[in-house]
Amino acid sequence: MDKKILIIEDEESVTYSMDIKFGLIPDLKIFHAKNGEDGLKIALKEKPDLIILDIIMPKMDGIEMLKQLRQDSWGKNTDVMVLSNLSNQDKESEAKNLGVKDYIIKANYNLNDIMDRVINNLKK
């Protein structure tokens, strides 16, 4: 597939699960960041095909990272999926206004379903 994804997530066990699952996708390169600040740097450097973004994180939260990403000429159209456990309508609509594909409550979703969505997003 020769695609790149960036997982910005501070919770190790969640990253661990995604690494294993997404590792099953052939020719996919996975980058990691544990907060928004690092995530933004890596994104601008690696220019991944899809960013998986948590909301509540240390240093810079997901929404702030997204805002800054959208300032960038490359970043303004990059595909972003929000995977958070925060159910807050304001955050969700803010994220959607910033052009994210999905706002998914992790605890309520199967990883299989999430992987299907990731693959779908990468295919385009």
Partner 1 sequence: MVKNFDIYYRRLFETAKDGIVLIDFKNGAILDVNQFLIDLLGYSKKDLIEKYFWEIDALKNIVNSKKNFSSLQKREYIHLDNSQLKTKTGKKINVEFIANAYPVGNKKIIQCNIRDISTRKQTEEKLKYSISLLNASLESTADGILIVDINGKISKWNKKFVDMWKIPEEILSTSDDQKTIKYVLSQITNPNNFLAKIKKLYEHPRTTSFDQIEFLDGRVFERYSQSQKIGKDIVGRVWSFRDITNKKRAELEISKFSKAVDNACDTIIFTDIKGNIIYVNKSLKKTFDYSQKEILSLHISKLCADPEKSKKIFLDVIKNDLWEGETISLKKNGKIFYSRLSSSTIKDQENNIIGTMDIITDITHEKEIDKMKTEFVSLSSHQLRTPITSINWITEMFLNGDFGELNKEQNESIKMINKSSRRMAELIDALLNISRLELGNFSINPEPLILRNIIDDTLKELSYAILKKEIIIKKNYQTKILKINTDQTLLRIILQNIISNAVFYTLPKTSVTIKTFIKKDYFIIKVIDQGIGIPKEDSSKIFTKLFRSSNAQSYKTDGNGLGLYITKLIIDSLNGTIHFDSTINKGTSFYIKIPIKSVPPKKSDKSLVVTKNNNLKI
Cβ distance to partner 1 smaller for residue 73 or 110: 110
Residue 44 binds partner 1, judged by CB under 8 A: no
User: Cα 100 from chain centroid?
Assistant: 9
E strand spans, 28-78:
28-33, 50-53
Cα distances from 99 to residues 17, 45, 116, in angstroms, run 26, 21, 20
Phi/psi of residue 39, each to 5°? -60, -45
21 touches partner 1 by CB under 8 A: yes
| 1 scored as a contact of partner 1 (CB under 8 A) | no
Per CB under 8 A, 110 contacts partner 1? yes
> Residue numbers of the site for partner 1 (CB under 8 A)?
11, 13-14, 16-18, 20-21, 24, 56, 84-90, 105-113
